[in-house]
A and B are shown apart, each in its own frame.
Chain A
Amino acid sequence: MKGKFSDILQYVFVIRELTAREIKRKYARSSLGIIWSVLNPLLMMVVMSLIFSTMFKRKIENFPIYYLTGQTIWGLFSGATNAAMTALVDNKSLLIKAKLPKHTFILSRVYTALVNFGYTCIAYVLMLVIFRIKPSFTMLLFPICIVFALLFAIGMGYFLATLYVFFADIKYLYGIFLTLLMYLSAIFYPVESLPETMQLVINWNPVYLQILFARECVMYGQFPENWVWIRLVIWCVGSILFGMIVFKSRENKIMQTI
């Protein structure tokens, strides 16, 4: 029992160290460093608001917050999956040494994205205050939304990391896929402006569901509808199971190929 506990402690320690490395690396050559994690979404919000807020003003009240909510959730997903994809290949040399399970590296990448998301949230909360979004109890649901987003990203991360070992081109394919998914996530436009059939598709988009969840509970102070919950749970469980199975079944092959 004690051994198990110290194992977990060690696990956490490794993930923290790996994450610290990722973040230090990422901002190693920039002078503002981690502040960029806060600034980047803000500046993006400004740009997007300048371009789109007038266009959708009648349909979206408070466009900057509408966009920022979508962008932070989207950033978490795309950042986590993109980084997790290359986690195994990038840490080739460490993989051989590590005594901990190999998926530590994938988890650490997702955790890195979460830390980045944390900094982004600073900007988000600041904006919520500036734009006078009324605090409501439903805001307490926001962490649940993050859990959903994380679970989904972890599942995808397992799958992508495994695939990337065998098929490096997936990196480029996934880039295209991410763009497609982003435009299907209604980050900067109202879903109502799309035709019915497209709305049906978008309402099954896991990332859009997460964004919708966040908007409902933060912006509008509403409890997300049941179908949103159900679909999110389906996506998360499905993603995690799928990712785990793919990863576990290929675990040995991964070490051989790397």
Chain B
Amino acid sequence: MFMAVILLVTAVCNVLIPTENVCATDAYAAFGSTSYEVVEGKEFKVGVYVKCVEGVGACSLTVGYDPNCLEYVEGGSGYDAANGLVFIVDEVGNGANSRKFLLKFRAKTQCYTSIYAVANYAYTYAFPDVILEDGTVVPAAPPVECTITRDASAPITIQAAAAPEPEKEEKPEVIAEETVSEEEDTASDDETAETDTVISEDDNSADETTSAEDRDYHLSGSVQIDIPEDIDNIEVIQVEPTNIYDANPQVFATGDNPEPVRTDYSFLLAIVLVISAVSLILLLWLSRDEFKARKKEAQQYIDELENPHSEDEYIYDLPEEGEVAPEDDGLYEKPDEYYAVSQLEEPADAQAVNETSEIADHDSEEADIDYTPISDSYAEDEIQFVDVDGMIVSDERERVISVKDVTMEFHLSTYNPSGLKDYLIQAVKRKIEYRRLFALYHVSFDVYKGEVVGIIGTNGSGKSTLLKIVSGALRPTSGKVIVDRKKVQLLTLGTGFDMELTARENVYLNGSIIGYSKEFLDKHYNDIVEFAELQDFMEEKVKNFSSGMVSRLGFAIATAGDAAEILILDEVLSVGDEFFRKKSLARIKEMIHGGSTVLIVSHGMNTILDNCSKCVWIEKGELRMVGNPKEVCEAYRHMEESDNAVGA
């Protein structure tokens, strides 16, 4: 906090300091060049400046020269030839931060001399009052007398007329001077730079132009310009801005430099804008087009699926609608070719065909295995299920979850573009491949109130997808799930915890997302902590927890209230230590007694056998069996064993 105060104070001070500079009213005299080289007998111009950041108003200058070497020609308001003085007086000024006067001298003889300039006085510009649209007059600041800070002097070399030095040699000096003064002045104002770049340099006469090409140089801001060496003549065309805000002196330079120095940047910007807009639109269009194509393909695909034995190369042997599969022995022999590979608007290429045939091979191996059909009593009617005790239960009980003919299809990209460029190229070529994966394929079953249903199946067989569909997180591609979403609570391990937060914060975060209100969480907070046995760790960050602790906390939050009427447990019961496992089982049993319906996904056969009243076996997205846990588990085990046998 203390540091913050210091920083704040520094910040404020720093901000306040520049505002003092605003009031500075320094003025000074200056020459256009640091030195002049002229030829004997010729006339030349010298630029004398009065500079004031606030805008030059009324000012007066005196320029001194050596009358033996130089002869004053014109430019000032008065002169004293005997003493070598030129007087300049301007009653108004121009309001720009630099006022320029052009004096013309003639070089008398070959010699080394110098001129100097002294500012007698300078006032800031008397700006006119600003009249607003509604007629109110805002009075402008009255002119202030500036403090004269320095005088100027410049050496002059007058050369013999016989051997004039080439002009080019002196140029670098001029340019160097110019950039230096620019840098100085940009610190105070951008307009200074604009006017400052104006150089008047003339060896013989201003009218003499040697080149056919004229170019415009628009100089603005603090731009440091490189003037081409070939320039013979730089002349100020317009130095008197009508409005100081638009002060934009144009410097016309004549030269035969073939390359333009500066292009109009607004044009460039416009180009960039257009390019980016076009590329964005292109991107959107591409992705949109692609989604459409995929959707269309998917629709066709589904249509094909619904018409088995079509002329397609894939054959889908489907169970009749609404029929539960296990009735038919032949079901296990049907080729599970739902791992199809397809391409957008292109026939499957060789690789894709290979992949399909591989899958087909695999499945035909599997098809050789003989599965024991389950008891007839179950298979006779869809809505009759075998209870744990072998009793036939009718439809009278309340149906809580009804999964009807659910199919879930995923698109998996088999091609990973290495970058955007690659992606675009592939998208344009329509070569991005998608593998269709049916995570669930026409799955139907019902769950009744108070049932504990175990879901088994090998890894990747679609169990978690089923749970997500039941909980409402996913919507199936086709089919329906009838369930009251508000009653469903999904509990998966290690998800939804933020490692950077403390356990307490996570309880509230996770609880809120699960659907507990703040009051509920406040009330049950202690219960949750107690159940998770994390009393001493609640203010600790979760990232320091062991995975067992995290899952304990997750379990405790999810089962905190008796609010959950339908509890879905995804691989939850097989974690934690033995002690906690027992405790959580007890909690689950408690909830079952309280009327909760539970869906359990587990790989642990014992968990299923011990707790469930019904078992659903899903294999590669298809429903294999529904019924008595003992029988289903046995069939599942059988398949696993034979699989292992085949594998060996």
Contact = CB atoms under 8 A, between A and B. Distances in A.
Contacts of B500: 24-25, 28
A50 B14 contact: yes
A113 B602 CA distance: 41
Nearest to B472: A99
Contacts of B505: 20-21, 24
B189 A57 contact: yes
A45 interface: yes
A99 B486 contact: yes
Contacts of A173: 280, 283, 420
A39 B276 CA distance: 34
Interface residues of A, number: 59
Contact of B490 (A20, A49, A64, A96): A96
Interface in B491-507: 492, 495-496, 498, 500-501, 505
B495 A45 contact: no
Nearest to B276: A180
Nearest to A180: B276
B222 interface: yes
Given A17-B509, A99-B486, A167-B287, A49 B18 contact: yes
A93 B495 contact: yes
Contact of B191 (A35, A58, A96): A58
B190 A255 contact: no
A13 B510 CA distance: 11
A130 interface: yes
A94 interface: yes
Contacts of B21: 54
Nearest to B265: A195
Interface in B269-293: 269-270, 272-273, 276, 280, 283, 287, 291
Contact of A255 (B8, B186, B474): B474
Determine which residue in A16, A55, A253 has the highest number of CB atoms from chain B within 10 A of its CB, and name it: A55
A256 B264 CA distance: 49
B513 A169 contact: no
Given A17-B512, A177-B276, A256-B474, A96 B495 contact: yes
B15 A54 contact: no
B495 A97 contact: yes
Given A24-B500, A28-B500, A130-B12, A9 B517 contact: yes
A194 interface: yes
Contact of A197 (B244, B266, B515, B518): B266
Interface in A37-53: 38-39, 42-43, 45-46, 49-50, 53
A20 B513 CA distance: 13
Contact of A58 (B7, B14, B221, B245): B245
A99 B483 CA distance: 13
A20 to B, nearest CB: 7
B252 interface: no
Contacts of A96: 468, 471, 473, 490, 492, 495
B134 to A, nearest CB: 11
B473 A95 contact: yes
B495 A55 contact: no
Contacts of A256: 410-411, 474
B498 A197 contact: no
Given A58-B245, A177-B276, A198 B513 contact: no
Contacts of A176: 276
Given A20-B505, A24-B500, A94-B496, A35 B4 contact: yes
Contacts of B280: 173, 177
Contact of A32 (B3, B12, B486): B3
A59 interface: yes
Determine which residue in B3, B11, B188, B509 has the highest number of CB atoms from chain A within 10 A of its CB, and name it: B11
Q: How large is the interface on B (under 10, 10 to 19, 20 to 34, 35 or more residues)?
A: 35 or more
A226 interface: no
B163 interface: no
Contacts of B473: 95-98, 255
Contacts of A28: 500
B162 interface: no
A16 B291 CA distance: 35
A1 interface: no
A223 interface: no
A12 B222 CA distance: 52
A136 interface: no
Interface string A210-222: 0000000000000
B245 A192 contact: yes
A176 B94 CA distance: 43
Interface string B180-198: 0000001111110000000
A14 interface: yes
Interface in A175-220: 176-177, 180, 192, 194-195, 197-198, 201
Contact of A46 (B15, B411, B474): B15
Contacts of A13: 512, 517-518
B555 to A, nearest CB: 14
B515 A166 contact: no
Nearest to A94: B496
B245 A53 contact: no
B630 to A, nearest CB: 31
A59 B508 CA distance: 52
Contact of B187 (A9, A54, A58): A54
Contacts of A24: 500-501, 505
Contact of B496 (A56, A97, A194, A201): A97
Given A35-B1, A39-B7, A97-B473, 16 more contacts: A17-B509, A42-B11, A45-B15, A49-B15, A49-B18, A54-B188, A55-B186, A94-B495, A96-B492, A97-B492, A99-B488, A99-B514, A127-B15, A169-B419, A180-B273, A195-B266
20 contacts: A21-B505, A24-B500, A24-B505, A32-B3, A42-B11, A46-B14, A57-B189, A58-B189, A58-B244, A64-B15, A93-B496, A96-B492, A97-B471, A97-B514, A130-B12, A169-B419, A176-B276, A194-B266, A198-B266, A198-B270
Interface of A: 6, 9-10, 13-14, 16-18, 20-21, 24-25, 28, 32, 35, 38-39, 42-43, 45-46, 49-50, 53-59, 64, 93-100, 127, 130, 163, 166-167, 169, 173, 176-177, 180, 192, 194-195, 197-198, 201, 252-253, 255-256
3 closest A-B pairs by beta carbon, nearest first, are A93-B495, A96-B473, A17-B512
